[in-house]
Structure 1
Amino acid sequence: MEQATLSDTLPPRTREQLATLLGISALYIGFGMTMGLIQGGFPAIMRAQGISLGAAGWLYALYLPLGVAFLWAPLVDRWRPPLLPPRLAWIVPMQLLAALTVAMVALLEGAAMGILFSMGLFVAFTMATMDIALDGVAVERIHSTWRPRAAACKLGALSTGAMIGGGAFVALFHSYGWKAIFLCYAASLLLLVLPVLLLMKEVPHAGLPNAMRRYAASLNALLRNPVQLKRLTLLTLTCCVIFPIAGLNRLMLLDLNVPIVQIGGIVGTLGPIAMLITAVISMPLMRRCGLSGALMAFTALALLAFAAMTIGFVRGQPWLAMSGAIAVGAAVSGIFVALSARILGWSRGAQPATDYAAFYGVGRFASTLATIAGAQMVSWISWPWFYASGALALLIITGLLRAPMAEKDE
C-alpha cells in the first residue's frame, strides 16, 4: 500500500501545484526530445543511409542509460548535494552537462562513430539522472488529487519533446544540417531548465518524518515488498509489450520505401499530436469508465492500428501504414498514462526517487532489450507476423492488468 504523507492530508494549494506542474513539464519536454532522438531519430536516419535493419536496431542501445538509471537512483535519494535545494541540485547540473555535451557533438560532425556514440551515452546518462531527481520532485510535491493531471501533463510534455526530437529535428536535418540541429537541441535544454528555477519554491520534503528521510534508500527495500514486487513485475511485462510495438514502426515505413523526410514530417509530428490528444482524453475516460474500461478502449485502438499497419505494408499503401503507426503510438500512450498516475502513488514513501525510478527504469531497460530483439525478430518473421504476435501479447497483458490493477489494489 502507498505511503500517506502530510502533503496528501492537507488541501492542495492550486498556485503551488500549477507552478510545480509547469516547472517539471518544461524539463519533461527536454527529456522527451532526448527520447525522440534516440527512438525515432538516429535509427531512422542511419537506416535511410543504408545500414541493415538489424544494425539499426542496435542503435536503440543508446536508450540503455535511461533504462538502468534505477541502479543509481538510491544515491539521488541518499545524498543531498549542497548549494541548491536537494532535488534541484541534481536537476540543474545534469541538465547543464547534457547541454554542454550536445553542443560539443554539434562541433564534431564527421568524428569517429565510437566517439559520437560514447558522447550520446553520456547525454543519455545525464538526462536519466536528471529524470530521477525530477520524478522525485513530482512524487513529493504533487498532491494525491492532482496525480491524474500530473500524469497527463507528463505525457503531454514528453509528446511535445518527442515531436521536436523525433519529428522536427529529423524532418529538418537534411535542410539545416548536423551543426544547426544539435546546437538548437543544446540551447533548448538550457532554456527548459529556467521554469523550474523561476517557479518552484523550496518546500519541506512533502511532510515525511525526519526518521524516514534518514532511511537508507535501496532497491532491496522495494524488492522485499511483495506488493511492490508484484506491481513492478506487471509494469515490466507491460513495457516489454507496448514499447517495441510502438517503437519500431518507422523502420517498417522505411522498408515500405516511405521517404525519411515524410516519416519525420508526418509521423514524427502527427504521432506526438495524437499522444497529446490522448493525454487530454485519458483522464476523463478513466473517471467515466474506470481503469479497466480505459485499458479496453486503448487496446481496441491498438488492434485497429495493427490491422492498418499490416494491410498497409502488405498492399503497399504508405498512407494506411502511417495512419496505423500514429494510432498505435496514441494507444500505447493511453495505456501507460493510466498506469503513470498509480506509479506516483506507489512511490510515496521513504525513497520516492528510488521507487519511482525502479517502476519506470526496470520497464525501460527490459523494453529496450525487447525492442532490440524485436528488430532482429522482424528480420526472420516479417512485419505482418510481428504485428500479429504483438496483438496477441497485448491482449494477454491487458487481461493481466485489469484485475490486479483495480482501484481496490491501490
Structure 2
Amino acid sequence: MTVTEQHLYRPPAGGGQLAVLLAISALYIGFGMTMGLIQGGFPAIMRAQGMSLGAVGWLYALYLPLGVAFLWSPLVDRWRPPFLATELAWIVPMQLASALVVAAVALMPGADLRLLFALGMCVAFAMATMDIALDALAVERIDPAWRPRAAACKLAALSIGAMIGGGAFVALFQRFGWATIFLIYAASLLVLIVPMLLVSRAKSTVAPRAAAPQQKASLRGLLRNPIQRKRLILLTLTCCVIFPLSALNRLMLIDMQVPMETIGGVVGTLGPVTMLITAGVAAPLMHRFGMPRAIWLFTALGILALAAMAVGYVRVLPWLAIAGVVSMGAAVSGIYVVLSARILGWSRGSQPATDYATFYGVGRFVSTLATIGFAQAVALMSWPLFYLGGALALLTVVALLRHSVEEKDQQDE
C-alpha cells in the first residue's frame, strides 16, 4: 500500500472493525496453541522425565522459526501466492500446511525424535509465516483508535491458545494419548480459518491491498531509519529480559518437585486466565493512565512476582512460587500489550509485514537465544539469584524504553 493510498484508505469502523478483529483473533488462537506447546508443554514434560536442565533448554530451539521469520518477511510484502484474496494469500496455505503436518505427526507415535523435531520445525516455520501475514493485515486494517483494543484482543487470543496448547493438551495427554491430542490440534487449526474466510467474502469490510512498486520491501528500509533502529534495539533488549523471566518458571517448579499434574492443570490453566484478565484491563489502563504509566504498573507487578518466586523457592512454599509464576505471566502480558499497541503504529508504512515482523522477530529470536543461555546459567548459579538479576534488568530496560513508548506516531497526528 502506497503512502497516498494509506491516506485515502480508512479502515472500516464499528461492526466492520469488530469483524476483522474477531477473524484475526481466531487465527491468533491457533498461533497461541503452537507457542503453548513449544514453551509450556514439551520442556516441562521432558524435565519431569529426568532430562537435565541444560538439555531441556535446547528444546526451546523449536521456537527459533518464530524468531527469524523477519528474514523472509520482505517476501510476504513483495509477493503473494496466486488464486487467493490478498488477506488470505499467505494465511490460508500456511495454516493448512501446519494442520496437515500435525495430522501426520498424530499418526506416527513413537517415531524417531529427530524426525519429530524436523516436523515440529516445519509447523513452526509455517505458523511463523502465517503470523507475518496476519500481523501485516492487522497493521493495515486496524484503525489507530482501535489499536489498544487490537493489542488486548491479540493477547486474549494468544492466552486462550496457550491455555489449550500449554495447559489442556498437557493435562489431558496421558488420558487421551498421542494420536487424539494431535488430531484435535490439527482440526482446531482448520476450524480457526473459517472466520477469516467469512470476513474475506464481505468485500465492504476488507479493502484490497495495493502494491508499492516504487519501493521494494526490505530489512534495510527499517534499519536505515534511526528512530526505527533505536526502537528495535530497545524492544529487543526488553524481550531478552521479559521472555526468559516468563518461559523458565515451570522448570523452577519442577525443581521444587511440584507434580506435573499441578503444573499442567493449575499453572497451564490459571496462567492463561490471568493473561485474559490482563488483556481485559490493559486497554482501559492505557486509555486512563497512558502507555508509560501502564507499562510501569505492569513492571511493578513483575517485581512482586519475581520476589514471590524467589521466596517461594528458598522457603519451599509451592503455593507462593506458583502465585509468582502466574503473576509474572500477567505482568509480562501487560507489558506485551503496551508494546503491541506501539508496534502497530510503528509499522504503519509501505512495508507493514516487514516492519512488524522485524520488530517482533528480532526480539523473539534474540530472546530465544537468551532463554537457552539463561537455562544453562541457572544450572550454574541458583533460581533466587536469577530472579534478583531479572528484577534489576527489568527495571533498567523499562526505564530505557519509556521514551519510545511515549512517542506519538506521525500516522496518528
TM over 0.5: yes
CA deviation string 1:70-123 (max 9, x = no partner): 000000110122111123111111001100100111111111110000000000
What letter corresponds to residue 122 of structure 2 in structure 1?
A: F
Deviation at 1:204, TM superposition (A): 9.8
1:271 aligns with 2:271: yes
**Residue 208 to residue 91, structure 1, CA distance change in 2 (3 Å):** closer
How much does 1:199 deviate?
2.2
Task: Provide the C-alpha distance between the structure 1 equivalents of 2:7 and 2:127, rounded to a whole number of angstroms.
Answer: 28
The answer to whether the 8 A contact 2:223-2:229 is kept is yes
2:78 equivalent to 1:60? no
Distance 1:217 1:387 in 2: 40
Deviations along 1:201-239, one digit per CA (max 9) or x if unpaired, are: 3579868775x3552111011111111111111110110
> Distance in 2 between the 1:176 and 1:208 partners?
44
What SS does structure 2 have at the residue aligned with 1:348? coil
Counterpart of 1:104 in structure 2 is 104
> Structure 1 residues 209, 55: CA separation in 2 closer, same or farther (over 3 Å shift)?
closer
CA distance in 2, matches of 1:337, 1:213: 33
2:17 touches 2:205 (CA, 8 Å); kept in 1?
A: no
Looking at structure 1, the residues matched to 7 and 266 of structure 2 have their Cα atoms a distance apart, in angstroms, of 43
Q: C-alpha displacement at 1:181, in angstroms?
A: 0.8
- What letter is aligned with 2:48? A
1:297-326 CA-to-partner distances (Å, cap 9, x unmatched) read 111101110111111111111111000000
Name 1:303's counterpart in structure 2.
303
Gaps of 5+ in 1: none
Conserved 8 A contact 1:7-1:141: no
In structure 2, how many angstroms separate the alpha carbons of the residues matched to 1:4 and 1:239?
Answer: 34
Distance in 2 separating the partners of 1:8 and 1:166: 43
Aligned to 2:32: 32
Letter of the 2:269 partner, please give it.
Answer: T
| Mapping for residues 352-367 of structure 1, pairs under 5 Å | 352-367=352-367
Structure 1 partner of 2:233: 233
Distance 1:58 1:159, change over 3 A: same
CA distance in 1, matches of 2:4, 2:57: 43
Seen in structure 2, the aligned counterparts of structure 1 residues 341 and 377 have a Cα distance that, compared at 3 Å, is same
Aligned length: 408
Indicate conservation of the 8 Å contact 1:29/1:159, yes or no. yes
- 8 Å CA contact 1:87, 1:136 repeated in 2: no
In structure 2, the residue matched to 1:120 is 120
Partners of 2:86 and 2:208 within 8 A in 1: no
- Separation of aligned partners in 1, 2:189 and 2:209: 32
Contact kept in structure 1, 2:11 and 2:17, CA below 8 Å: no
Output the TM-score relative to the length of structure 1: 0.96
Structure 1 Cα separation of the partners of residues 9 and 186 of structure 2: 41
Task: Output aligned runs, 1:344-355, within 5 Å.
Answer: 344-355=344-355
Q: Confirm whether residue 174 of structure 1 aligns to residue 174 of structure 2.
A: yes
What does 1:124-203 align with in structure 2 at a 5 Å threshold?
124-200=124-200, 201-202=202-203
Q: Is the 8 A contact 1:7 1:143 kept in 2?
A: no
Range 82-91 or range 328-337, more displaced: 82-91
Q: Which letter does structure 1 place at the counterpart of 2:91?
A: I
* Structure 2 length-normalised TM: 0.95
Structure 1 residue 405: Cα displacement: 2.2
Report the aligned-residue RMSD: 1.9
Secondary structure in 2 matching 1:404? helix
Which residue of structure 1 aligns with residue 242 of structure 2?
242
**1:351 alignment partner AA:** Q
In the alignment, the residues of structure 1 paired with residue 298 and residue 382 of structure 2 have an alpha-carbon distance, to the nearest angstrom, of 25
